[in-house]
Amino acid sequence: MSIVVNKLLYFLSETLVERGNIMLVCVTMRGEVTGRELIIVNVISGLQGDIIMGMTMAEKIIAAAAGVESCKAGDIETVTLDRLMSNDGTTHLTIDMYNNLKNPKIADVNKLVWIIDHNIPADSPKTAASHKKMRDFAREHGITFYEGEGVCHQVMMENHVRPGELIFGADSHTCAYGALGAFGTGVGCTDYLYAMVTGMSWLLVPETIRINLHGKLKKGVYARDLILTIIGKISANGANYKAMEFVGDGMASLSMADRIAICNLCVEAGAKTALMEVDDVALDYLKEHGREPKAIYKSDEDAVFSQIIDIDLAEIEPIVAKPHFVDNVVPVSECEGTKIDEAFLGSCNNGRIEDLRVGAEIIKGKHVANKVRFLVVPASRAVYQQALKEGLLDIFMEAGAMVMNPNCSVCWGACQGVIGEGETLISTGTRNFKGRAGHKDSFVYLASAATVTASAVRGYIISADKI
């Protein structure tokens, strides 16, 4: 089918003209359009085929999963899932619902990955019972199962995620998988159960915000500062049910750890998913972990974006997100001197080996401030072992930090390090809502590994370049 798409200034709106075999349809552009700017699509009738406009990465992955040639934002597609991840936060509920079904059956057990990471080791008889239910069900049905291996998203990135996959996770930060060019999105246990027994689900195709990154981050500025800055710029609901796509020459300077940190936090702007183009950095990571891409996608040149944002990485500064919202961001200097009771270095956002190296370099030869608790929690067993090999854990221990087993820890306000009434935590965790890390009348500040470690040493919030 011959298709010609011309962007014109047209003086009529909502016009439909038929002349012989040519039908001219005037359609207002999707996205940012002002005045009378329209798209004219010339369709030669009598030939078979559909109009195929350029697609974004998100649209291409969904189209492939739906088995259709193309789709666009606003379409509803029935998709086949590549992988289904669940953790101990809600899996016990999924199991209960599954057992209440009439003649239940798992569609493809090889696609399921279950991970105990939130409350591990179990902190109560109730938690122990929940873990046992999950453990027994996984063994009975042959589900891939991890316990004590780390935070679910880090474990998934190390062992399972492949470019081009469509993955449901029973956890909101599943969007982290976009760092490898996979469409990861969080779902509740009901949607998870449906996908588990049918192998399928439905998706409303999201619009895409394209974020062009240029240049390089300055020394002492990290990907954590970048994504918090972006969230502050567009707000906590600025990407509601949209895909956030990161491209540009600035990507070349970002490590896989940086990319995971960026994609992981996109849900804090309301994003349905986050995506990055697969390049040599991503391919090297895959090779290192013994995997091959399912498919590699890039947005077409004529793809439609709801918004395009350009960011000069050199302009990013160290950032803190103040209580009680992730988009309540200010330069570290504006919070300098705020006393803390606890510091946390870990989580699926900032618990990788690169983050531990940053923290260890800052705290080496120093000591955690009096009356401050400093929790260091590697994101996975692999990260823990690498940190042990490099002597990083010794550095933290000698400085008075508490090194914990790989788990979600205080990031979700249970199991370890919960803070009390009136206490203040500075954290590399994912959220700072009221009660997120403990008592409803406590305070959580979010910052980079560098700022968190420096603050642990001084006992108050301070930029790492000042100690």
Q: What's residue 36's pLDDT? A: 31
- DSSP letter, residue 294: S
- Alpha carbon distance 73, 71 (integer Å): 7
Q: Which amino acid appears at position 199 of this protein?
A: G
**C-alpha to C-alpha distances, 317 to 215, 223, 313, 323, 338, nearest whole angstrom:** 14, 10, 9, 19, 19
Calculate the alpha carbon distances from 175 to 50, 58, 255, 256, 443 in Å. Answer: 31, 12, 17, 14, 26
Which of 158, 89, 146 shows the shortest CA–CA distance to 112?
146
CATH tag, 52-317: 3.30.499.10
In this prediction, residue 3 carries a pLDDT of 33
Residue recorded with tokens 């990083």:
392
Rounded average pLDDT per 10-residue block, the chain, 467 residues: 32 32 33 33 36 86 96 97 96 96 95 94 91 96 96 97 97 96 96 97 97 96 97 94 97 96 96 97 96 96 96 97 94 95 95 97 97 96 98 98 90 82 94 82 95 98 92
Reduced to 3 states (helix: H, G, I; strand: E, B; else coil), residue 86 is strand
Strands in 329-331's sheet, in edge-to-edge order, are 329-331, 319-321, 443-446, 424-427, 342-346, 373-377, 402-403
Please tell me whether residue 42 adopts helix, strand or coil conformation.
strand
pLDDT at 253: 96
Name residue 332's amino acid.
V
Per the omega criterion (within 30 degrees of 0), is the bond before 131 cis?
Answer: no
Whose CA is closest to 430, among 410, 414, 459? Answer: 410
Q: Which pLDDT belongs to residue 439?
A: 87
For residue 51, what pLDDT is reported? 55
Residue 297: φ, ψ to 5°: -120, 150
What pTM was computed for the model?
A: 0.85
pLDDT of residue 168: 98
Please count the other Cβ atoms lying within 10 Å of the Cβ belonging to residue 127.
19
> What one-letter code names the amino acid at 424?
T
Cis peptide before 104, with omega less than 30 degrees from 0?
no
Domain boundaries, the chain: 1-50, 52-317, 320-466
On the question of a common fold for 52-317 and 320-466, the answer reads yes
CATH fold of the domain at 320-466: Aconitase; domain 3 (3.30.499)
Query: Are 363 and 453 within 8 A, CB to CB?
Result: yes
Report the run of H or E that residue 360 belongs to, with start and end: helix 353-363
- Look at residue 52 in the predicted model and tell me its pLDDT: 60
